[in-house]
Amino acid sequence: MNHNTDVVIVGAGPVGLFAVFELGLLNLECHIVDNLDKVGGQCSELYPEKPIYDIPSRPRVSGQELTEDLMKQAKPFNPVFHLGQQVEKIEKTSDQLWNLTTSTGNIISSKCIVIAAGAGSFVPRKLPIENINEYENTSVFYSVKNKSLFINKKIIIAGGGDSALDWANDLASIADVTLMHRRKEFRAAPDSVSKMLKLEKENKIKFIIGQLCSIKGNKGYLSGIEYENEDKKAFLKADYLLPFYGLKMELGPISNWGLNLYENLITVDTEKFETSVSTIFAIGDINTYPGKLKLILSGFHEAALMSQKCFSYCYPDKKNVFRYTTSSKDLHKKLGF
Ligand SMILES: Cc1cc2nc3c(=O)[nH]c(=O)nc-3n(C[C@H](O)[C@H](O)[C@H](O)COP(=O)(O)OP(=O)(O)OC[C@H]3O[C@@H](n4cnc5c(N)ncnc54)[C@H](O)[C@@H]3O)c2cc1C
């Protein structure tokens, strides 16, 4: 589908979300794309329950609470979210416009691009198994999008963290589930571990100690897997394999966008946080400049300055009059107060 907007923000972490607010104050419309299927970036993916103590005026706020409050703050400006898709390609279509193409085929046309991509996209850790990519998205899945696919099937879930145990517990009611991990100790929440052990006792989940070493099948369709346990190899029949070994972060397609990089970070000027390419900005953990601190508050400051310059690109004929949110009636109306 094609969309048009003033600004596309790549990354819905805390800094991308605050950028929606800062751009909104200047009447700039935003679309925001994230590879994950939820907003909040590292705050919601890596430490939702952990308290953060250095957000100004928030003595203690969890990663999840901060994300929810940033969403509330952005809401009056009606940002359009495109989640579960990665921005793969950017192309200049005219002097003033960019086209961004996402992994699901969305094309968004915008005047400016703001890269708020943190340390890059969260991507699943893959198994070092040679032919695994032949089976991905037919028999091997790194996330569960459609549970009905697994009804009455033989599934192997590999891993010992939250995703592995949560999905093993969840799918046990509709499928023949085997959980495989290298030892009978888990990194998942104690609740999920107790539930899994209870289901195992009731013969609703099978548990195997072992490490996957190869997968067997034909034309992308799995017949089973081979695993190793105390130097013995064994074969296990399976229709589907769900490897849940956690997520890692990769800069991904951004490295092909022709921007100046330094150690996988985007260099910017500190006046407007613009990259080496005019009308493309980089804010938050993804950028670098002398003295950079990878903190949420640094990203918030960068979003404010970036927005001023974006305004001049989007409205070259308009004067940007500086206004405080406390005293501007127009801003109160926009914010719904
Ligand atoms: C355990 C832990 C504790 C922390 N504690 C604190 C703290 O106390 N105080 C503090 O200030 N900071 C803390 N941090 C750091 C803080 O979380 C980061 O500074 C902050 O998340 C950076 O925000 P961001 O929006 O720049 O990037 P991120 O939060 O990394 O979000 C970037 C988003 O961009 C998406 N993305 C990347 N590339 C693409 C693409 N091509 N297409 C689509 N989407 C893409 C990613 O999926 C991700 O969701 C902590 C970090 C960790 C890991």
* pLDDT tens digits, 30-57: 999 999 889 999 999 888 888 999 999 9
Task: Name all residues whose Cβ lies below 6 A of ligand 1.
Answer: 10-16, 33-36, 41-43, 46-47, 52, 54, 86-87, 116-122, 252-254, 284-285, 294-297, 299
Strand 107-115 to strand 2-10: parallel, antiparallel, or no bridges (unpaired)? parallel
pLDDT at position 144: 85
Residues 6+ apart with CB under 8 A from 305: 271, 272, 273
Gap between the Cα atoms of 264 and 268, Å rounded: 13
- Phi, psi at 168, each rounded to 5°: -60, -45
pLDDT at position 59: 97
SS3 227: strand
SS3 274: strand
| CB atoms near residue 172 (< 10 Å) | 21
Q: How far is the CA of 82 from the centre of ligand 1 (A)?
A: 18
Looking at the predicted structure, is the pLDDT value of residue 231 above 80?
no
Instruction: Kindly give the number of the ligand 1 atom that is closest to the alpha carbon of 283.
Output: 26
Task: Return the best residue to mutate from 30, 67, 248, 296 for the ligand 1 pocket (most ligand atoms within 8 A of CB).
Answer: 296
pLDDT at position 146: 86
Looking at the predicted structure, is the pLDDT value of residue 143 above 90?
no
Span 331-336, average pLDDT: 89
Q: Whose CA is nearest to atom 35 of ligand 1?
A: 11
